[in-house]
């Protein structure tokens, strides 16, 4: 069996797909399988996939169902680890080698990610927190792992029955990484650029963002509930914040006295300050 399964859901990606596939096949770490799941594409994506003869490639045609397609990729994976990539992004040549080595050295870590360099419509580097506690706190604002850099132990997912849930739509990945943390899975990010992330006007997260705000808010509330469960009652300040202040803030949010963005940003700063005082 391969050490790593690379999962790429593909939907109408003919313009960029060859570049994405080639970036995986050229990895310095070669013991992997590449699962290309065609999510009901109507362009020539399937033809591009079929043009490859590399035995590490597995082509899995699927009906158009993003979360279901990703979930199938994870269930079909045979590797010790699962790495994810979007259909229009590019792996840095040493990505799999770096993440495999990191996870082998840190057996307590369930999943890891890293940094990304954006190119296309926007050019900048996305840096994320490195250590578990900071990553979990960051769930109040953003996804804890940059999905195109995600790398997780397959056995951990099986042991805890974690999967991508269809009802979370394009935020299924956000919920997926939160579930890993809730099941006591330690998270980490490697301070290196692992993926080149293509930005464009047609990306699903941009195109459908207004309709997904409610879903994102639901996940952030779940993250807040988890973070509050980690606040110790032994600390009087933590106990007061958890039992008195946050419930009041939640009421203000429910009454639309404050926006979700203001609410989660304030709670993030509040808990960050508390942790700073504890240290």
pLDDT of residue 202: 55
User: How far apart, in Å, do the first and last CA atoms of the chain sit?
Assistant: 45
pLDDT of residue 14: 92
The three-point CA angle 58-62-63 to 5° equals: 170
Q: Are strands 109-120 and 124-126 parallel, antiparallel or unpaired?
A: antiparallel
Estimate the crossing angle of helix 172-182 against helix 209-230, to 10 degrees: 10
The tens-digit pLDDT sequence of the chain (279 residues) is 899 999 999 999 999 999 999 999 999 999 999 999 998 899 999 999 999 999 999 999 988 888 888 989 999 999 999 999 999 999 999 999 999 999 999 999 999 999 999 988 888 999 999 999 999 999 998 888 999 999 999 999 999 999 998 888 778 889 999 999 998 889 999 999 999 999 876 555 544 455 567 888 889 989 988 888 887 777 777 777 778 788 888 888 888 887 888 888 988 888 888 777 666
Of 139, 195, 209, 221, the C-alpha closest to 27 is 195
Number of neighbouring beta carbons within 10 Å of residue 237:
13
Three-class SS of residue 217?
helix
Cα(198)–Cα(196) distance, integer angstroms: 6
Cα(154)–Cα(160) distance, integer angstroms: 10
pTM of the model: 0.91
The b/e string for 73-94 (b: 16+ C-beta within 10 A; e otherwise) is: bbeebebbbbbbbbbbbbbbee
């Amino acid at each position: 069996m391969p050490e790593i399964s690379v999962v790429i859901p593909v939907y109408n990606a003919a313009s960029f797909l060859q570049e994405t596939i080639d970036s995986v096949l050229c990895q310095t770490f070669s013991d992997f399988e590449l699962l290309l799941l065609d999510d009901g594409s109507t362009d020539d994506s399937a033809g591009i996939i079929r043009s490859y003869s590399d035995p590490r490639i597995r082509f899995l045609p699927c009906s158009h169902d993003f979360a279901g397609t990703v979930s199938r990729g994870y269930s079909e994976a045979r590797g010790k680890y699962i790495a994810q990539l979007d259909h229009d992004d590019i792996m840095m040549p040493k990505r799999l080698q770096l993440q495999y080595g990191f996870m082998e050295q840190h057996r307590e870590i369930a999943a890891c990610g890293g940094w990304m360099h954006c190119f296309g419509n926007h050019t900048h580097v996305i840096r994320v927190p490195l250590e578990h506690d900071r990553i979990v706190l960051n769930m109040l604002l953003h996804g804890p792992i940059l999905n195109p850099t995600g790398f997780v132990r397959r056995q951990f997912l099986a042991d805890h029955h974690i999967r991508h849930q269809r009802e979370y739509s394009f935020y299924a990945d956000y919920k997926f990484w939160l579930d890993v943390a809730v099941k006591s899975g330690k998270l980490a990010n490697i301070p290196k650029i692992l993926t080149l992330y293509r930005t464009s006007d047609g990306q699903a997260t941009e195109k459908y963002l207004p309709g997904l705000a409610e879903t994102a808010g639901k996940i952030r509330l779940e993250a807040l509930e988890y973070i509050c469960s980690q606040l110790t009652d032994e600390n009087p300040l933590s106990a007061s914040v958890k039992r008195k202040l946050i419930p009041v803030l939640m009421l203000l949010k429910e009454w639309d006295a404050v926006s979700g963005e203001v609410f989660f940003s304030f709670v993030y700063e509040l808990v960050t300050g508390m942790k700073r005082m504890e240290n």
